[in-house]
Amino acid sequence: MQTPKVSVIIITYNRAQLLKTAMQTVFDQTFEDFELLIIDNGSPDDTENTVKSFHDPRVRYIKHAQNQGEGGARNTGVQHAEGEYIAFLDDDDEWLPNKLQLQVELLDAQPKQVGFVHSALINFYADTGEELEKKRPVEAVSGKVFDRLLQENFVILSTVMARKECFDAAGPFDLSIPAGLDYDMWVRISQTYEFAYIDTPLIKYRIHRNNLGSNFGLQIRGQEAFFNKYKAYTSIPGKPNSVRYFKLGLLYGFTHDLKTARRIYLKSIRLYPLNPKPYVAFLLTFLGQRGYQNMLERIVK
């Protein structure tokens, strides 16, 4: 088989039925010059048979004997990718049929300096079937985005296509970061390459309402690892970093650690004294957990 234009990487663990749907949306693409790498993180379910049921020579199945986490699995995928471009798809998301076609055409037409393209999406709520289109202003999420990306992760993994050389330059996914490894990778790529953005939805991003906000401890550890790694930037006074620390304070509040939340809110205030939300949140921590929790919805609106 000749070298494919695009390497599509799906990492999966114990979600055979969702994986089957995700894989089908890859095979439904109008662009067909791809390989599909399935990185199985040690699933005990029927994942292997699900993958083999497609009988397509473009599929490459790699199974880890033990779960190596998202970062380890993504690194395996990138290491085995043979395509000029790499695209990612989470095993519970779905691509729309023209996803690869539009992104390949865009990158082919751009100079090498533009190494990365992402897109608008459709939020798909698994429990109700509700769909909501989500777009960003093109100028806000394209071009030289390093500074803006440090303020907020506006890239959804399943929308991404990037030149393989971007990953060669940035290095592997950083396994020392407990959560948000993809975000860290986008930041590193943005230090060298420009981003492009297609404001047409190209994926359906599945949202499981019962999982929203789960595992706050993991999110906190990921945020703090990111802050430490980019300390030279995340400690700069201003509204963007104030908002980042405010959101970290909310996470601590969710874990009932109001003492630490209070300290984080004070940091948010020091970074940008004109931001009113951390003042309110700071005062509410003195109401105790029940009072704080009851007012939380008003804080974040």
**Domain co-membership, 176 together with 256:** no
Residue 129 inside a domain? The answer is yes
Residue 219 inside a domain? The answer is no
Number of domains observed in the structure of the chain: 2
Which residue, among 131, 114, 113, 130, has the nearest Cα to 122 in the 3D structure? 131
**Domain co-membership, 65 together with 115:** yes
**Domain co-membership, 203 together with 241:** no
Global confidence as pTM? 0.90
pLDDT at position 254, please? 87
- In sequence order, the β-bridge partners of residue 207 are 125
Residue 265 inside a domain? The answer is yes
* Helices and strands (H and E) in the chain: how many: 13, 9
**Domain co-membership, 146 together with 242:** no
Residue range(s) defining the domain that contains residue 263: 235-300
Dump strand ranges (E) for the chain. 6-12, 34-40, 59-63, 85-88, 94-95, 114-125, 131-134, 161-163, 194-207
- Give tens-digit pLDDT for 115-147: 999 999 999 988 888 889 999 999 999 999 998
- Give tens-digit pLDDT for 73-89: 999 999 999 999 999 99
**Domain co-membership, 24 together with 146:** yes
pLDDT-derived band of residue 26, with 50, 70 and 90 as boundaries?
very high
Residue 230 inside a domain? The answer is no
Residue 215 inside a domain? The answer is no
pLDDT at position 1, please? 61
Contact present, 31 and 101 (Cβ < 8 Å): yes
- Give tens-digit pLDDT for 212-261: 456 888 899 999 999 999 999 999 999 989 999 999 999 999 899 999 99
**Per the structure block, which two tokens stand in for 195?**
């981003």
